Amino acid sequence: MKNDQLKSGDVASTAVRPVAKRGTGMVDQKIYDSVLKAVVSQRLPPGTKLTEASLCELFSVSRTIVRKAIQRLAHDHILELRPNRGAIIAQPTPQETREIFAARRAIEAAIVPMAVENATPSQITRLRQIVREEHAAFHAGDYAKWIRLGGEFHIMMSETAGNAVLTRFLRELVSRCSLIIALYQVPGTTSCPNDEHEQLIDAIAAGDTVRAVEMMERHLLDIERALHLSDNQREVNLAEILGLA
């Protein structure tokens, strides 16, 4: 799959300049969405610095609104807040990436047997529907949606297990893994093949716990192996990337 490049108009439509002081909540959401889409489309590389001043100028808003958006982005691990550097696009290290994926493999290894035991026919149907939507996004070249649906599949599978605590843990891990995939997946590779999801559903539906657990382990290892971690940096034009140039 070729690397999806975000068109300026796609983000520009979400970066509408506010009128007076109305809708400040909507404005910080627009800033959040604009940054997130630029990251997922790989136009904002890891380590890129985002200053409050630049975002205030680009969106014509106060520092209060920008800080709210930055705090939300940091909470969701899209930005890192570093002393004396301010906010930068998250830059997970190879070691951190390995630890995140190891934690996810452990959590999903515990979830899968419960999913096999508890999944209902309607939940199996919903999982297959997500895979169809994922397949459509892949072929439409909608990279951001494709990544989101891949994460949604795993969350839905966890919900079939019926353990809310494990699902809560998995939500954070999936969020962090999705960002890592968006940042570091090699263009032209597939991090989460649809057929693997289909085969996993088949194993769950058939009640084959051993096969389902083995498939999940291999699946997550394949995702991790598809990543290309690099310290290379490049110059970026923030206004152009966010569709405000």
Whether residues 55 and 107 share a domain: the answer is no
Q: Is residue 1 part of a domain?
A: no
pLDDT at 76: 82
CATH code of residue 215: 1.20.120.530
Indicate the pTM of the whole model. Answer: 0.71
Name residues whose C-beta falls within 8 Å of residue 128's C-beta, 6 or more positions apart in sequence. 198, 201
Whether residues 49 and 144 share a domain: the answer is no
Q: Is residue 3 part of a domain?
A: no
pLDDT tens for the chain, residues 1 to 245 = 444 433 333 333 333 333 334 455 788 888 988 888 788 777 788 888 999 999 999 899 999 999 999 999 998 888 999 887 789 998 888 899 999 999 999 999 999 999 999 999 999 999 999 999 999 988 888 877 888 888 899 999 999 999 999 999 999 898 888 888 877 876 555 555 558 999 999 999 999 999 999 999 999 998 898 888 765 544 556 666 565 55
Q: Is residue 202 part of a domain?
A: yes
pLDDT at 203: 97
Whether residues 126 and 80 share a domain: the answer is no
String of b and e for 154-188 (b: at least 16 CB within 10 Å)? bebbbbbbebeebbebbeebbebbbbbbbbbbeee
Whether residues 84 and 200 share a domain: the answer is no
Whether residues 126 and 207 share a domain: the answer is yes
Whether residues 18 and 135 share a domain: the answer is no
Q: Is residue 156 part of a domain?
A: yes
* Domain encompassing residue 38: 8-91+231-241
State the CB neighbour count (10 A cutoff) for residue 105: 17
Q: Is residue 41 part of a domain?
A: yes
Whether residues 87 and 98 share a domain: the answer is no
Whether residues 212 and 100 share a domain: the answer is yes
Q: Is residue 115 part of a domain?
A: yes
